[in-house]
Chain A
Amino acid sequence: GAVVSQHPSRVICKSGTSVKIECRSLDFQATTMFWYRQFPKQSLMLMATSNEGSKATYEQGVEKDKFLINHASLTLSTLTVTSAHPEDSSFYICSARLPGNTGELFFGEGSRLTVL
């Protein structure tokens, strides 16, 4: 199957700093990627849809100025958590949509953010 890679897998930062998480589709071009947030022992919550070459579409209740998404190329989307606070600590997962009618999604390995 297609491969989606996230980096870093774990990051610890101080409160007030910004953290960037990368999501790459390694063997296909993804015009659409999705960013999810997962709290411990809970389901995945869609944060935003990242579209190559255009602005991301955020879900209701997600602060776009807090969670900056850039999809500058067909294989890379980045999520930047700006001025991170302890409540931003979470597991962030991206997925990339395979081109074509099936539109199957492939998920990255996830990135665990801990804000001290």
Chain B
Amino acid sequence: AQSVTQLGSHVSVSEGALVLLRCNYSSSVPPYLFWYVQYPNQGLQLLLKYTSAATLVKGINDFEAEFKKSETSFHLTKPSAHMSDAAEYFCAVRGSNYKLTFGKGTLLTVNP
């Protein structure tokens, strides 16, 4: 079985500051991991994914995440936050039959 834990339901940063959103996973098989972003009343947009290739994954809008097997983590980072980054972020792990299990989400607020 798979599960995802996102530490911190709400993260607030200043514009230009580092963004760090935490995700820990549990998986009975080598995991495929994903980060999605959701803007209000919209669907999910894929930021990046880990599929057992490079452990440091680069995504869109300068986001990146590092897969650390020893820590069962897949934290999302961005060097410099923009106001447009304010949104809900979901970490997900893929299980059998391509089903995704999502974390509870982290709301990112960017302050001017």
Contact = CB atoms under 8 A, between A and B. Distances in A.
Interface of A: 1, 4, 6, 32, 34, 42-44, 46, 49, 91, 93, 95, 97, 102-110, 112
Interface residues of B, number: 20
Given A42-B105, A43-B90, A103 B98 contact: yes
Nearest to B94: A103
A102 B49 CA distance: 11
Given A1-B46, A102-B51, A104-B49, A46 B41 contact: no
Given A49-B99, A102-B51, A104-B49, A109 B104 contact: no
Given A42-B105, A44-B90, A105 B42 contact: no
18 contacts: A32-B97, A42-B104, A42-B105, A44-B44, A44-B90, A46-B99, A46-B100, A46-B101, A49-B99, A91-B41, A93-B43, A93-B44, A95-B44, A103-B94, A104-B46, A104-B49, A105-B100, A109-B42
Contacts of B98: 32, 97, 103, 105
Interface in B21-55: 36, 41-46, 49, 51
Contacts, number: 49
B104 A34 contact: no
B98 to A, nearest CB: 5
